[in-house]
Amino acid sequence: MNSTLELMQQHHSVRSYQDKPIPAELLDAVLDAAWKSPTSINGQQVSLVVVQDAARRQQIAAIAGGQPWIAQAPVFVTLVVDFYKTSLGVSAAGAEQVIQDSVEGFAVGAVDAGIALGNLMTAARAAGLGVVPIGGIRRNPQAMIDLLQLPEYTFPIAGVVMGYIDQDSSIKPRLPRESFVHHEHYQRAALPASISRYDQTLASYWQQIGRSDGLPWTANTAQYYQHVYFPEVAPVARKQGFGFER
């Protein structure tokens, strides 16, 4: 197995960082890996907002629900779905942009931001940094919009912490592979047994790392997915000019 594949298969989130800045040239190289990511129709409807100021990182940590590693690590990058940028291009071509009024628009923006996020995390880890992706900024997206001064037709979809690791973490086991890789068609029959087996695997993992509060996958997922856990996403997205009727 080559080193890139090995690196990607060893992914784990890090929540303990040294108080050590990332050299500017190294940070730029990591950011450029996301910049060069593919996007649908070459629309490039993704932007990054890089926050290094300690006070602003502290604010983001609070917005995300109290995640101290955001304030602790030297860099926080917000991935922004950016149809403001594309609207300028569409206007320059003498046309009117409407893609932001559709589910497809929000979906393609989120997908392309996810591709950039994946490249960003892989590049950071290849450079010897730790990372943890953050969806918690969607807990209060309006606060992020205000803090980052985001214009209309943009939305802060996710973020990522990066920095030098203080205390490393272990690799969390995943659902059995057969629940993820389906050959030729979706294989429903094996899922209940795979899920049951994973609950047992995860229970052993929590015990191994001394986490008495660790939940089975089923219970943990249920506590989030039985309701909309970030209910401000839709109203704030609409306020930003996104529509979901087309």
Residue 193 lies inside a defined structural domain of this protein? no
Confidence at residue 210, expressed as pLDDT on a 0 to 100 scale = 94
Please give the model's pTM, rounded to 2 decimal places.
Answer: 0.95
Q: Specify the DSSP class assigned to residue 165.
A: B
Q: For residues 63 and 75, give the distance between their C-alpha atoms in angstroms, rounded to a whole number.
A: 16
Structural domains of the chain, count: 1
Evaluate whether residue 220 is within a structural domain.
no
- The verdict on residue 182 lying in a domain is no
Mean pLDDT, residues 34-51 taken together: 98
Nearest to 119 by CA among 14, 27, 38, 26: 38
- Report yes or no on 70 lying in a domain: yes
CA distance 239 to 8: 37
The whole domain housing 36 covers 3-170+227-239
| pLDDT digits 0-9 by tens, 202-233 | 999 999 999 999 999 999 999 999 999 999 99
Reply yes or no on whether the pLDDT at 138 is more than 90.
yes
Q: Residues 97-131: pLDDT tens digits? A: 999 999 999 999 999 999 999 999 999 999 999 99
Run of H or E including 82: strand 75-82
Give percent of the chain above pLDDT 70: 100
The domain that contains 35 carries what CATH number? 3.40.109.10
Tell how strand 130-134 and strand 154-163 pair up.
Answer: antiparallel
Q: How far is CA 11 from CA 22, 98, 130, 158, in A?
A: 20, 38, 10, 18
Q: Tell me the angle at which helices 141-148 and 54-63 cross, rounded to the nearest 10 degrees.
A: 160
Tell me if 57 is assigned to some domain. Answer: yes
In a domain, 93, yes or no: yes
Confidence of residue 246 (pLDDT cuts 50, 70, 90): confident
d(CA 22, CA 28): 10
Beta bridge partner(s), residue 163: 130
Would 210 be classed as within a structural domain? no
Percentage of the residues of the chain whose pLDDT score is greater than 90: 98
pLDDT score of 9 more than 90? yes
* Residue 82 within any structural domain of the chain: yes
